[in-house]
């Protein structure tokens, strides 16, 4: 190994020694956490463990090059890095393992994520930003391998935007775009498409992104020969290396146990990315996994003895220790002392974390025991209650589940009794549930004043002689106003820039606002969303465009796993108010007529899903969203861009409310709920039905998630006593969701005189052409007949059978 070049210039040898020993201390403490952590799982105190052992030393080097304002987007091996930047204490490490629900004690997710998933807090309790330039930042990890990559791209791109776009208020977010986004990924996870998509996109965009590949030759049990061509990721990526003629990457290679070289490599990488805004890839090889992949198996099952022996010799902490002694920085005794202290301190931290974790739960245990003590004396079933009390008392490592489960079962024994003690128990259960449920279920959406649903409606107003324009003109004028008003807003996607999107809702805006703010991207939906997530995490207001709703499937994983969970998994400590703009519903054929609302409703809880029936409504949604904190998908009607709409005289001020339905035709006979393009057919059918004496009330859902927060639909059903839901999703899709909301949430069953119905598309993808559409999706005739059939059933003499 090489001697260490000065860690920093003009540092004394004593300071240098102290820094190395302080690093060594972090490395061995981190290792000790991994070792003890595994034991905590095997003894049953924690549920699952995945640790950073064998990857400590490169993370020390990365931490030294990581500056305040920088961002990390990494994965579950990075505990040592988090400890080295001071964002993870030993207590917090164990609090995460035990799933402590107190965000102060378990700042990584308040127990919502398994240990090894790291985060820093970007937000104050009221949802406002902290000064991110003055702190180290880590975006919240997710478990799906390579899922950290798309977001990493956006985190890096934000620096470019902050550096190059004029007029943005960067305070809290950036200092001249000097911030680097640091990614980490395991060698095997580089097999994922998301890795390659991100690598290519970052090379194109030339953003300050440094991706470290922690290479231990394995992905769980699967060796590199099954993962990576030539078993060497940096070699196969070498075509990305920049040279004097073309832009690209700087690619660096270093051994993961070589402390001195690691530090130099990371300093070099940091300087290149920070100053030149060039992406860097660091392939860190010869890493190990001393305890195997996770607590769910042992690596002796799949590694040869030879490999295991090699890993013992090349353990990065062992190698660092050897180097310290060889370099004369410290002797064996000094290091042994550090190791002994580490063992003691980690054990202490573990005990502290366990006791603080158990304290509030034990308090509830005690409360319940004393309630049961009282109950057993007054109840006729005292023996049974006494038994429950005894088992409860004997549980040492108690959980909330144990407590509530015992309490709720005890209550069943006094079901027919009337006593103050029974009342007390029942009240206690309600209180505990009320207090405990939010620990696990809060913060799916913003809970602050900046929640989307708190943004007040502003209706469009019109001049008497308002011009009739194509819908796309309304969008374009509104986007113009948005980019003019919000310097931090930007839009990007396929064909979004130069031609101003395929339907020209952004026509001419690139010329006006520049190529960075109205930007073309490659065809790569997942990383378009990743760009949006990363930039939103850093205070920008990105609008990510997915060209057609059908292609959102390429990005659904990242929307579902990352975007939809950001606020929830950080318990409101990070937000990504990304707006996803897309267009869908009826047009042509299997891949341009998508209306897979049910899929999105199921997979993207945590993201608002908005389905405006026209472009004025859509414009109003964009204006609302830019004032709120929740991410959203806006599905514009593909066949609405050339339809005429009246131009409002207050366009930039209008706001469509979120979670509020609109009654677009009043009627008395039946409530019809629909949304999007289908509404035009419903309106036509309603006219035809009126001519036959059937007066339909038409409600535009317009916001599927959240849905009808004021419960206006049930009020309509109270009047009409009948309901049909009509959409162009498959059977059991969004219509089933809406029906569930109406029946389960709004209790509409009590007002229904006819069976509630749905009318949907066929269960296959829509066929091409006019006839394909007619036979695949509900037509005006289908709608007419479905509604008529309900009325026929009610009153066959007035409405005789049609066919």
From 115, 150, 154, 219, residue interacting with ligand TPP (rule: CB under 6 A):
219
Instruction: Confirm whether 592 is a catalytic residue.
Output: yes
Q: Which residues contact 576 (CB under 8 A, 6 or more apart)?
A: 532, 533, 536, 537, 563, 566, 567, 631
Contact 703, 670 (CB under 8 A): no
Q: How far is the CB of 77 from ligand TPP (least distance, A)?
A: 5
Q: How far is the CB of 54 from ligand TPP (least distance, A)?
A: 8
Choose the one of ligand TPP, Mg ion, none that binds residue 145, judging by a C-beta under 5 to 8 angstroms depending on kind: ligand TPP
Q: Closest CB to Mg ion belongs to which residue? A: 186
Is residue 401 helix, strand or coil? helix
Nearest to 69 by CA among 539, 532, 629, 530: 539
Q: Total residues contacting Mg ion (rule CB under 5 A)?
A: 5
Q: Which is nearer to ligand TPP, 98 or 218 (CB)?
A: 218
Structure tokens of 376? 């057993």
Position 677 contacts ligand TPP (CB under 6 A): no
From 32, 40, 216, 364, residue interacting with Mg ion (rule: CB under 5 A):
216
Question: Can you say how many angstroms the Cα of residue 608 is from the centroid of all Cα atoms in its chain?
Answer: 13
- The binding track of 496-515 with respect to Mg ion, each residue x by CB under 5 A or -, is --------------------
From 32, 216, 315, 501, residue interacting with ligand TPP (rule: CB under 6 A):
216
Beta pairing partners, 415: none
Choose the one of Mg ion, ligand TPP, none that binds residue 67, judging by a C-beta under 5 to 8 angstroms depending on kind: none
Position 187 contacts ligand TPP (CB under 6 A): yes
Contact 693, 798 (CB under 8 A): yes
Using a 10 angstrom Cβ sphere, with 0-12 exposed, 13-18 middle and 19 or more buried, the burial of residue 471 is: buried
β-pair type (696-700, 662-665) = antiparallel
Stretch that binds Mg ion, among 133-141, 187-195, 513-521, 582-590 (CB under 5 A): 187-195
Position 145 contacts ligand TPP (CB under 6 A): yes
Q: Which is nearer to ligand TPP, 189 or 317 (CB)?
A: 189
Q: How far apart are CA 745 and CA 756, in angstroms?
A: 15
Position 186 contacts Mg ion (CB under 5 A): yes
Q: How far is the CB of 536 from ligand TPP (least distance, A)?
A: 23
DSSP state of 518: E
From 38, 64, 77, 389, residue interacting with ligand TPP (rule: CB under 6 A):
77
Position 339 contacts ligand TPP (CB under 6 A): no
E strands, 660-741, are 662-665, 670-674, 696-700, 703-705, 723-726
Nearest to 227 by CA among 142, 116, 141, 145: 145
Tell me which H or E stretch contains 339: helix 332-378
Choose the one of Mg ion, ligand TPP, none that binds residue 756, judging by a C-beta under 5 to 8 angstroms depending on kind: none
Position 187 contacts Mg ion (CB under 5 A): yes
4: left (phi over 0), alpha (psi -120 to 50) or beta: beta
Stretch that binds ligand TPP, among 57-65, 211-219, 591-599, 666-674 (CB under 6 A): 211-219
Is residue 359 helix, strand or coil? helix
From 188, 237, 403, 544, residue interacting with ligand TPP (rule: CB under 6 A):
188
Site for ligand TPP in 472-491 (CB under 6 A): none
Site for ligand TPP in 266-295 (CB under 6 A): 293
Position 183 contacts ligand TPP (CB under 6 A): no
Crossing angle (nearest 10°) for helices 259-276 and 56-65: 40
Q: How far is the CB of 219 from Mg ion (least distance, A)?
A: 5
Indicate which residue of 406, 592, 711, 764 is catalytic. 592
Site for ligand TPP in 555-584 (CB under 6 A): none
Q: Which is nearer to ligand TPP, 145 or 356 (CB)?
A: 145
Q: How far apart are CA 179 and CA 67, in angstroms?
A: 8
Q: Which residues contact 620 (CB under 8 A, 6 or more apart)?
A: 458, 460, 612, 654, 655, 656
Q: Which is nearer to ligand TPP, 256 or 594 (CB)?
A: 256
From 116, 186, 497, 577, residue interacting with ligand TPP (rule: CB under 6 A):
186
Position 311 contacts Mg ion (CB under 5 A): no
Position 81 contacts ligand TPP (CB under 6 A): no
DSSP state of 191: G
Long-range contacts of 455-458 (CB under 8 A, 24+ apart): 455/624, 455/627, 455/628, 455/655, 455/657, 455/658, 456/655, 456/657, 457/655, 457/656, 457/657, 457/660, 458/620, 458/623, 458/650, 458/653, 458/654, 458/655
Position 214 contacts ligand TPP (CB under 6 A): yes
φ and ψ at residue 581, rounded to 5 degrees: -100, 130
Note the residues at the interface with Mg ion (CB under 5 A): 186-188, 216, 218
Residues serving a catalytic function are 592
Note the residues at the interface with ligand TPP (CB under 6 A): 77, 143-145, 186-189, 214, 216, 218-220, 293
């Amino acid at each position: 190994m090489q001697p260490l070049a000065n860690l920093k210039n003009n540092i004394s040898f004593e300071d240098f020694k102290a820094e190395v020993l302080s690093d060594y201390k972090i490395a061995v403490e981190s290792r000790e956490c991994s070792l003890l952590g595994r034991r905590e799982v095997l003894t049953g105190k924690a549920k699952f463990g995945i640790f950073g052992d064998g990857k400590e030393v490169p993370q020390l080097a990365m931490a030294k090059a990581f500056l305040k304002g920088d961002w990390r987007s990494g994965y579950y091996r990075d505990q040592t890095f988090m400890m080295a930047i001071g964002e993870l204490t030993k207590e917090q490490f164990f609090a995460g393992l035990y799933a402590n629900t107190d965000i102060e004690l378990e700042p990584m997710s308040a127990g919502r994520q398994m240990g090894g998933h790291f985060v820093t807090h970007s937000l104050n309790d009221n949802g406002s930003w902290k000064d991110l330039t003055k702190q180290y930042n880590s975006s919240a990890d997710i478990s799906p391998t390579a899922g950290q990559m798309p977001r990493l791209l956006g985190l890096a791109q934000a620096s470019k935007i902050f550096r190059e776009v004029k007029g943005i208020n960067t305070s809290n977010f950036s200092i001249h775009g000097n911030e680097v986004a640091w990614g980490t990924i395991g060698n095997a996870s580089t097999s994922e498409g998301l890795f390659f998509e991100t690598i290519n996109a970052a090379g194109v965009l030339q953003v300050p992104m440094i991706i470290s590949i922690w290479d231990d030759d394995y992905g769980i049990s699967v060796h590199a020969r099954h993962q990576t061509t030539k078993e060497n990721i940096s070699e196969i990526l070498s075509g990305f290396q920049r040279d004097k003629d073309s832009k690209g990457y700087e690619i660096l290679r270093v051994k993961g146990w070589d402390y001195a070289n690691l530090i130099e490599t990371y300093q070099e990488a940091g300087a290149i990315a920070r100053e030149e805004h060039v992406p860097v890839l660091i392939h860190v090889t010869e890493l190990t996994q001393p305890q195997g992949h996770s607590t769910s198996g042992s690596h002796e099952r799949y590694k040869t003895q030879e490999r295991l022996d090699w890993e013992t010799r090349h353990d990065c902490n062992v190698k660092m220790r050897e180097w310290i002694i060889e370099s004369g920085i410290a002797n064996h005794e000094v290091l042994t002392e550090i190791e002994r202290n580490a063992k003691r301190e980690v054990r202490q931290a573990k005990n502290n974390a366990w006791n603080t974790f158990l304290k509030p739960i034990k308090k509830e245990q005690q409360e319940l025991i004393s309630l049961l003590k009282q109950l057993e004396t007054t109840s006729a079933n005292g023996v049974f209650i006494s038994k429950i009390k005894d088992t409860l008392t004997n549980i040492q490592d108690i959980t909330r589940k144990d407590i509530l489960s015992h309490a709720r079962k005890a209550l069943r024994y006094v079901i027919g009794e009337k006593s103050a003690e029974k009342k007390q128990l029942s009240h206690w259960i309600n209180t505990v549930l009320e207090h405990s449920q939010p620990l696990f279920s809060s913060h799916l959406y913003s809970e602050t004043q900046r929640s989307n649903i708190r943004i007040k409606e502003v209706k469009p107003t019109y001049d008497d002689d308002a011009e009739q324009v194509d819908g796309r003109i309304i969008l374009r004028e509104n986007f113009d106003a948005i980019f003019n008003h919000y310097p931090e807003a930007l839009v990007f996607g396929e064909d979004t820039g130069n031609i101003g999107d395929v339907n020209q809702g952004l026509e001419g805006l690139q010329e006006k606002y520049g190529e960075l703010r109205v930007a073309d991207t490659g065809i790569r939906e997942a990383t378009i969303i990743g760009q949006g997530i990363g930039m939103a995490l850093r205070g920008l207001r990105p609008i990510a465009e997915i060209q057609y709703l059908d292609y959102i499937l390429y990005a659904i994983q990242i929307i579902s796993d990352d975007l939809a969970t950001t606020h929830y998994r950080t318990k409101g400590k990070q937000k990504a108010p990304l707006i996803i703009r897309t267009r869908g519903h009826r047009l042509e054929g299997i891949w341009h007529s998508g209306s897979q609302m049910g899929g999105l409703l199921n997979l993207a809880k945590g993201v608002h899903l908005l389905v405006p029936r026209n472009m004025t409504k859509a414009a109003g949604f964009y204006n609302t969203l830019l004032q709120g904190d929740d991410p959203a998908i806006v599905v514009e009607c593909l066949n609405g861009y050339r339809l005429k709409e009246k131009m409002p005289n207050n366009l930039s001020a209008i706001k469509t409310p979120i979670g509020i339905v609109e009654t677009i035709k009043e009627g008395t006979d039946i409530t019809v709920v629909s949304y999007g393009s289908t509404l035009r057919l419903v309106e036509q059918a309603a006219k035809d039905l009126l001519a036959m004496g059937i007066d339909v009330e038409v409600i535009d859902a317009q916001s599927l998630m959240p849905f009808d927060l004021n419960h206006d639909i049930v009020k309509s059903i109270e009047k009409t006593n009948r309901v049909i839901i009509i959409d162009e999703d498959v059977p059991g899709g969004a219509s089933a969701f809406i029906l569930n909301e109406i029946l389960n949430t709004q209790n509409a069953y009590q007002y229904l005189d006819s069976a509630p119905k749905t009318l949907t598309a066929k269960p296959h993808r829509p066929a091409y052409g006019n006839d394909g559409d007619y036979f695949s999706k509900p037509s005006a005739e289908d709608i007419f007949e479905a509604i008529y059939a309900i009325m026929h059933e009610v009153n066959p003499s007035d409405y005789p059978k049609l066919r």
